[in-house]
Chain A
Amino acid sequence: MSTTLEAPPQTYALELRGIRKAFPGVQALDGVDLVMRPGEIHALVGENGAGKSTLLKIITGIYRPDEGTLEVDGQSRAFGSPRDSLHAGIGIVHQERNLIPKFSVAENITLEQPPVRNGQWIDRDRMRTESERWLDLLQIPIDPERSVEDLSVAQRQLVEIAKALSLESRILLLDEPTASLTPHETAVLFEILQRLRDDGVAILFVSHKLEEIFAICDRVTVLRDGKVAALDRDLRELDRDQLVTLMIGRSEHVAEFPQRDLSEAPVVLELRDVTSAAGPTDIDLALHKGEILGLYGLVGAGRTELARTIIGDVPMTSGEILVDGQSAIISDARAALERYRIGYVSENRQTEGLILSHSVLANVAMTVWSRLATWLGWIQPGAERSAVGPFIDRLQVKTPSLEQQVGNLSGGNQQKVSLSKWLAAQTAILIVDEPTVGIDVKTKHELHELIWELANQGLSILLISSDMPEMVQLADRIVVMVDRRVAGSLPNNRNYDDMSQQIMSLIHRRADPPDTPA
Chain B
Amino acid sequence: MNLALRMLDRTGLLAVIVVFWAIFVVFADGFLNRVTIFGLSRTVAVTAVIGLSQMVVLGIGQMNLAVGAIGGMIGVFTGWLMQSVGLPVWAAVIVALLFAAFVGWVNGIIITKTGINSFIVTLGMASVITGLVFILTKAEAFRDLPDAYTSFGKVPWVELGWLELSPLIFIAVAIAIVMALVYKRTTFGRWMLATGANPRAAELSGVPVNFVVQATHALSGLLAGAAGIMIVSRLGSALPSIGENWLLPSFAAPIVGGTLLSGGAVAVFGTLLGALLIESVSVGLTLMNVPSFWIQLFIGLVLLLAVLIDRARTVAVARGQRGVRQTPAGATSG
Interface check A403, CB cutoff 8 A: yes
**Inter-chain contact B327/A357, CB cutoff 8 Å:** yes
Partner of B194 from the list A24, A356, A358, A372 (CB cut-off 8 Å) is A358
- Please choose the segment from B72-80, B127-135, B195-203 that sits at the chain A interface, where 4 or more of its residues have CB less than 8 A away: B195-203
**A276 part of interface (Cβ distance < 8 Å):** no
* Contacting residues, chain B, for A353 (C-beta < 8 A): 201, 204
Q: Please give 6 more A-B residue pairs, beta carbons under 8 A apart, in addition to A359-B323, A405-B322.
A: A313-B203, A334-B208, A346-B204, A357-B197, A358-B197, A369-B187
Let me know if A355 and B198 touch, CB within 8 A: yes
Nearest A residue to B3, CB-CB: A403
User: Which of chain A's residues have a CB closer than 8 A to the CB of B191?
Assistant: 369
- A359/B204 contact (C-beta < 8 A), A24-B321, A376-B186 known: no
Say whether A198 faces chain B, with CB atoms less than 8 Å apart: no
**A357–B193 Cα gap in the complex (Å)?**
10
Are B197 and A378 within 8 A (Cβ)?
no
A384–B208 CA distance with the chains assembled, in angstroms:
19
Say yes or no for B313: interface residue by CB 8 A criterion.
no
- Selected interface stretch from A119-127, A360-368, A445-453, A508-516: A360-368
Chain B residues, Cβ within 8 Å of A332: 203, 208
- Which one of A24, A344, A378 has the highest number of Cβ atoms from chain B below 10 Å of its Cβ? A378
If A359-B323, A384-B329, A408-B321 touch, does A378 touch B201 (CB 8 Å cutoff)? no
B190 within 8 A of A: yes
What residues of chain B lie closer than 8 Å to A174, measured between beta carbons?
A: none
Cβ of B109 < 8 Å from any Cβ of A? no
Chain A interface residue count, CB cutoff 8 Å, equals 43
Interface residues of B in 175-224 (CB under 8 A from A): 185-188, 190-191, 193-194, 197-198, 200-208
- The answer to whether A355 touches B329, judged by C-beta atoms less than 8 angstroms apart, is no
For A362, give its contact among B187, B190, B208 (CB under 8 Å). B190
Q: Which residue of B lies closest to A371 (CB)?
A: B187
Assess the A351–B204 pair: CB atoms within 8 A: no
Give the distance in Å from the alpha carbon of A240 to the alpha carbon of B168 in the complex. Answer: 78
B193 CB contacts on chain A under 8 angstroms:
358, 362
Partner among B190, B203, B206, B264 whose Cβ is within 8 Å of the Cβ of A357: B264
**Hey, which bits of chain A sit against chain B, CB under 8 A?**
24, 311, 313, 332-334, 336-338, 344, 346, 351-362, 365-367, 369-370, 372-373, 376-379, 381, 384, 402-405, 408, 421, 425
CB within 8 Å for A367 and B205 given contacts A355-B198, A358-B194, A377-B186: yes
Does the CB pair A373–B265 fall under 8 Å? no
A361 and B329 form a contact (CB under 8 A): yes
> Considering only CB atoms and an 8 Å cut-off, how many residues of chain B contact the other chain?
31
CB distance from B7 to the nearest CB of A (A): 15
Find out whether the CB atom of A334 lies under 8 angstroms from the CB atom of B264: no
19 contacts between A and B (CB under 8 A): A24-B321, A333-B206, A334-B203, A346-B204, A351-B201, A352-B204, A355-B198, A356-B197, A357-B264, A359-B329, A362-B193, A366-B202, A372-B187, A403-B1, A403-B323, A405-B322, A405-B323, A421-B205, A425-B206
Q: How far is the CA of A370 from the CA of B197 in the complex (A)?
A: 19
Given contacts A332-B203, A369-B190, A377-B188, contact A403 B324 (CB under 8 A): no
* Known interface pairs A369-B191, A370-B206; A354-B327 also in contact (CB < 8 Å): no
Is B329 touching A358 in the complex (CB atoms < 8 A)?
Answer: yes
Report Cα–Cα, A353/B2, bound state, in Å. 24
How far does the alpha carbon of A381 sit from the alpha carbon of B185 in the complex, in Å? 7
Closest chain B residue, CB of each to CB of A404 = B323
Whether a CB of chain A sits under 8 angstroms from the CB of B274 is no
Q: Indicate the member of A332, A360, A366 with the most B CB atoms within 10 Å.
A: A366
Task: Look across to chain B and name the residue whose beta carbon is closest to the beta carbon of A358.
Answer: B327
Separation of A425 and B205 alpha carbons in the complex (Å)? 9
**B330 lies within 8 A of chain A by Cβ:** yes
Give Cα distance in the complex from A293 to B190, angstroms: 34
Contact A311 B204, beta carbon cutoff 8 Å:
yes
Residues of A within 8 A of B329 (CB): 358-362, 365, 384, 402-403
- Whole-angstrom distance between the Cβ of A440 and the nearest chain B Cβ: 18
Shortest beta-carbon distance, B132 to chain A, in Å? 34
Q: Which of A24, A311, A377 has the most CB of B within 10 A?
A: A377
B51 at the interface (CB under 8 A from A): no
Give Cα A356–Cα B324 distance, bound, in whole angstroms: 11
**Closest Cβ of chain B: how far from A417's Cβ, in Å?**
11
Do A379 and B187 touch (CB < 8 A)? yes
A313 lies within 8 A of B204 (CB): yes
Most buried by B among A24, A313, A334, A344: A334
The interface residues of chain B lying within 8 Å CB-to-CB of A369 are 187, 190-191, 207
Shortest B115–chain A CB gap in Å is 15
Asked whether, in the complex, the Cβ of A366 is within 8 Å of the Cβ of B186, the reply is no
Q: Tell me if A378 and B186 are in contact (CB < 8 A).
A: yes
Which chain A residue lies CB-closest to B2? A403
CA gap between A381 and B331 in the complex, in Å: 10
| B306-334 near A? 1/0 per residue, CB < 8 Å | 00000000000000011110011110000
Establish whether residues A377 and B205, one from each chain, have CB atoms under 8 Å apart when the complex forms.
Answer: no
CA distance A381 to B321 in the complex (A): 27
Residue with the highest number of chain B CB atoms closer than 10 Å, among A344, A358, A367: A358
CA–CA, A405 to B320, complex, Å? 12
CA distance A334 to B202 in the complex (A): 10
Residues of A within 8 A of B208 (CB): 332, 334
Least CB distance, B225 to chain A, in whole angstroms: 21
Name the B residues within 8 Å of A376 (CB-CB). Answer: 186
A378 touches B198 (CB 8 A): no
B201 cross-chain contacts in A, Cβ below 8 A: 346, 351-355, 366
Which residue in chain A gives the minimum CB-CB distance to B211? A334
Chain A, residue nearest B263 (CB): A357
Contact (A373, B186) CB under 8 Å given A313-B204, A357-B324, A359-B323: yes
B101 smallest CB distance to A (angstroms): 16
| Distance to closest chain B CB from A402 (angstroms) | 7
On chain A, the residues within 8 Å of B321 by CB distance are 24, 408
With known contacts A369-B187, A376-B186, A378-B186, A333–B204 Cβ distance under 8 A:
yes
From A354, which residue of chain B is reached at the shortest CB distance?
A: B201
Is the beta-carbon distance between B204 and A357 smaller than 8 angstroms?
Answer: no
Once bound together, how far apart are the Cα atoms of A361 and B188, in whole Å?
Answer: 16
Report the Cα distance A67→B198, complex, angstroms.
Answer: 34
- Name the 5 nearest CB pairs between A and B, nearest first: A361-B329, A359-B329, A377-B187, A337-B206, A362-B328
* Complex: A359 Cα to B194 Cα, angstroms: 11
Given A362-B328, A377-B186, decide whether A333 and B197 contact each other with a Cβ distance below 8 A. no
Question: With contacts A402-B329, A403-B2, A404-B323 known, is A351 near B194, CB below 8 A?
Answer: no
Distance between B108 CB and nearest chain A CB, rounded to angstroms: 17
User: What does the 1/0 interface line of B72-101 toward A look like (CB < 8 Å)?
Assistant: 000000000000000000000000000000
Chain B residues near A421: list those with CB within 8 A.
205
Residues of A close to B198: CB separation below 8 A: 351-352, 354-356
Measured between beta carbons, the chain B residues less than 8 angstroms from A377 are 186-188
Chain B residues with CB under 8 Å of A346's CB are 201, 204
Give the nearest-CB partner of B186 in chain A.
A377
Bound together, the chains give a CA A367 to CA B201 distance in angstroms of 11
**A337 contacts which chain B residues (CB < 8 A)?**
205-206
